[in-house]
């Protein structure tokens, strides 16, 4: 995703469900804490893109205290450091540019260098709460490209050296200990549609050079924009690069407003969360398996409701990303990803004006999804257990985990109406009708903490607000 993106060919999964209506009957949901599914919600399950990571005045030194406090609160286990401005000339782009001598019409990359002083200030003191970092090398500076946007052939070797030099700066000089380095971003729709075999050849050279600098790192990519098996792009890339990929990355956005400014209905956006979280992964994994049998992590490292809020007459911005539906979409996507076996997800993004979980105002004001991430990372990491929402899976979507000192149930009401849920929990030997469940909720009211609910009340019927995510937790002593 580029901050200045003008268009995006969004894929929306098969629309399985009709618009949701009021359900008069109580929805029965069962949870069995004696039956693990085999899936695990790891610290990577609820990750984020760090769009502001390149700016020393925000993420680094001196940084913004509000930004740091609010990102720390979300506690994402993995942060993807990504911004198209990374490859801008640092003197021309005071916020994000990390390169020197890149602001010329035609450049020789052997004369382009990383701005080591600016990088040091950007990373110093950033994200001190301790997430794993994935640093994306955002293609190349514009001056190194030909008229079609592709890297000039004469610049391949110098580009490879530039990639390796960033590993040296971050891990050898600044001792940052970055584990994941992602090479490229969305080239399958940015000049290389139908030519991803060429991208793979460049990638292979870069991966070898980068690991020669630090053999402990994992190198992967290529951040596919479109995960479509009918296109030759994935096949062409994997055919050449599979042996050199330590991990694979891809993106999935639910919606793209068309030129008339029409907005996809919210129920269709919610349907698309299953595509983003699960179907896209299965497609990419199947294509990769044609060329490699090695165990390889797959990361959904960009997703959000709307992939292209810029353009002629388009709705700008998409307000659903700022409010409760944004939290619901994120929760649905991550539940599907966890159940499918995705190694990690990273939503786009932690903080900006148009997509962020935090608003990019001076105080980095928190939006509903920021509280969702705080609750997910505090309450929902651990082994996953069987749940069954019965025939109302299109209305209420559950996830149950054993997390830390508690058993926790997440209930996503993806309906525009409030719904009553009758909960049946098994596998907890000390559970009785008087057992108290702590309640946390994300809804149009923001993050609220309703009164504790007894198991008796939950069994009889508990109301979930419209477009909401509810967390019910009970201590391990109930087992």
pLDDT in tens, 242-286: 999 999 999 999 877 554 445 788 999 999 999 999 999 999 999
Q: Are 84 and 352 in contact (CB under 8 A)?
A: no
Q: What per-residue confidence (pLDDT) applies to 246?
A: 98
pLDDT at 8 over 70: no
Whole-number Å distance between alpha carbons of 195 and 148: 12
> What is the predicted pLDDT for the residue at 2?
32
> How many angstroms separate the CA atoms of 374 and 335, rounded?
16
Taking residues 314-320, report their average pLDDT.
70
pLDDT (tens digit per residue) in 401-458? 999 899 999 999 999 999 999 999 999 999 999 999 999 999 999 999 999 999 999 9
Please identify which residue in the block is written with the tokens 């946007």. Answer: 149
Tokens 């900006």 sit at which residue? 352
> Which 8-state DSSP code applies to residue 131?
-
Q: How confident is the model at residue 226 (pLDDT cuts 50, 70, 90)?
A: confident
CA dihedral of residues 389, 391, 395, 401 (deg, nearest 10): 10
Helix-strand-coil percent breakdown of the chain, rounded to 5? 30, 25, 40
**Cβ count near 48 (within 10 Å):** 29
Percentage of the residues of the chain whose pLDDT score is greater than 90 = 83
334 within 8 A of 381, measured Cβ to Cβ: no
Please enumerate in sequence order all residues whose Cβ is within 8 A of that of 293, keeping only pairs 6 or more positions apart, or say none.
Answer: none
DSSP secondary-structure letter at 279? Answer: I
DSSP summary character for residue 351: B
Phi, psi of 36, rounded to the nearest 5 degrees: -70, 145
Q: Given pLDDT bands bounded at 50, 70 and 90, which one contains residue 7?
A: very low
Report all structural domains of the chain as residue ranges with CATH numbers, in order of start: 43-380 (3.20.20.80), 384-478 (2.60.40.1180)
Strand 298-306 vs strand 344-347: parallel, antiparallel, or unpaired? Answer: parallel
The per-residue pLDDT for 35 is 98
22 pLDDT tier (thresholds 50, 70, 90): very low
Answer whether 364's CB lies under 8 Å from 373's CB.
no
How distant is the alpha carbon of residue 77 from its chain centre?
11
For residue 94, give every residue at least 6 positions away whose Cβ sits within 8 Å of its Cβ, in sequence order, or none.
Answer: none
How confident is the model over 162-207, as pLDDT tens digits? Answer: 999 999 999 999 999 999 999 999 999 989 999 999 999 999 999 9
Which pLDDT score is estimated for 12?
30
**pTM exceeds 0.75, yes or no:** yes
Whether 312 shows a pLDDT value over 60: the answer reads no
Q: What is the pLDDT of residue 25?
A: 79
Residues above pLDDT 70, as percent of the chain: 92
Instruction: Give mean pLDDT, residues 345-371.
Output: 95
pLDDT in tens, 88-122: 999 999 899 999 999 988 999 999 999 999 999 99
First to last CA, the chain: 45
Give me the mean pLDDT over the 353-379 stretch: 95
Tokens 């069995």 correspond to: 32
Integer Cα distance of 309 and 315 in angstroms: 6
SS3 label, residue 374: helix
Give the mean pLDDT of the chain: 91
Residue 331 confidence (pLDDT): 98
Of 401, 446, 478, 430, nearest to 32 by C-alpha is 401
- Residue 365, SS3 per DSSP: coil
Return the CA Rg of the chain: 23
Q: C-alpha distances in angstroms, 78 versus 191, 299, 349, 459?
A: 29, 11, 12, 36
Please give the Cα distance from 420 to 400 (Å, whole number): 18
Q: What angle do helix axes 368-379 and 324-340 make, rounded to 10 degrees?
A: 30
For 65, 69, 115, 328, 359, the CA distances from 59, given in Å and listed in that order, are 9, 10, 17, 27, 14
What is the arithmetic mean of pLDDT over 30-42?
98
Report the C-alpha gap between 280 and 183 in whole angstroms: 20
Query: Token match 């580029």: residue?
Result: 2
Q: Is 371 helix (H, G, I), strand (E, B) or coil?
A: helix
Where do runs of H (alpha helix) occur along 214-323?
233-241, 266-274, 280-289
Paired tokens of 278:
């699960």
Q: Cα(393)–Cα(345) distance, rounded to whole angstroms?
A: 22
Tell me which of 306 and 12 has the higher pLDDT.
306
Distance between CA 11 and CA 94 in Å, rounded? 35
Give the lowest-confidence range in 9-18, 88-97, 218-227, 415-424: 9-18
């Amino acid at each position: 995703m580029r901050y200045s993106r003008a268009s995006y060919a969004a894929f929306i999964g098969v629309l399985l469900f009709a618009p949701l209506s009021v359900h008069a009957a109580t929805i029965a949901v069962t949870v069995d804490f004696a039956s693990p599914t085999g899936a695990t919600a790891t610290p990577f399950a609820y990750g984020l893109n760090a769009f502001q990571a390149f700016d020393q005045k925000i993420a680094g030194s001196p940084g913004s205290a509000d930004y740091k406090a609010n990102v720390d609160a979300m506690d994402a286990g993995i942060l993807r450091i990504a911004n198209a401005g990374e490859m801008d000339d640092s003197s021309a782009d005071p916020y994000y540019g990390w390169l020197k001598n890149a602001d010329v019409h035609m450049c020789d990359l052997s004369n382009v260098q990383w701005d080591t002083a600016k990088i040091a200030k950007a990373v110093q003191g950033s994200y001190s709460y301790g997430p794993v970092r994935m640093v994306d090398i955002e293609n190349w500076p514009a001056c190194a490209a030909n008229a079609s946007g592709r890297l000039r052939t004469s610049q391949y070797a110098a580009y490879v050296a530039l990639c390796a030099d960033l590993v040296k700066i971050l891990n050898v000089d600044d001792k940052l200990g970055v584990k994941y380095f992602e090479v490229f971003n969305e080239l399958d729709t940015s000049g290389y549609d139908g030519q991803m075999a060429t991208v793979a050849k460049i990638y292979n050279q870069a991966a070898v050079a980068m690991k020669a600098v630090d053999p402990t790192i994992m190198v992967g990519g290529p951040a596919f924009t479109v995960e479509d098996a009918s296109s030759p792009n994935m096949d062409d890339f994997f055919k050449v690069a599979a042996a050199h990929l330590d991990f694979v990355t891809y993106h999935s956005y639910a919606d793209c407003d068309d030129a008339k400014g029409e907005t996809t209905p919210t129920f269709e956006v919610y349907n698309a969360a299953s595509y983003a979280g699960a179907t896209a992964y299965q497609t990419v994994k199947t294509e990769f398996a044609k060329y490699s049998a090695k165990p390889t992590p797959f990361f959904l490292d960009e997703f959000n409701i709307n992939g292209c809020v810029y353009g002629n007459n388009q709705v700008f911005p998409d307000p659903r990303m700022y409010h409760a539906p944004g939290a619901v979409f994120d929760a649905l996507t991550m539940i599907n990803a966890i159940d499918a076996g995705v190694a990690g997800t990273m939503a786009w993004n932690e903080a900006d004006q148009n997509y962020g979980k935090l608003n990019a105002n001076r105080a980095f004001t928190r939006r509903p999804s920021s509280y969702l991430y705080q609750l997910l990372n505090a309450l929902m990491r651990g082994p996953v257990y069987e749940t069954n929402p019965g025939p109302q899976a299109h209305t209420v979507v559950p996830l149950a985990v054993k997390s830390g000192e508690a058993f926790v149930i997440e209930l996503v009401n993806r309906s525009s109406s409030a719904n009553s849920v009758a909960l049946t929990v098994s596998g907890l030997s000390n559970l009785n009708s008087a057992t108290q469940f702590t309640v946390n909720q994300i809804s149009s009211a923001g993050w609220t903490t309703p009164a504790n609910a007894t198991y008796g009340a939950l069994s009889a019927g508990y109301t979930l607000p419209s477009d909401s995510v509810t967390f019910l937790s009970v201590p391990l002593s109930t087992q």
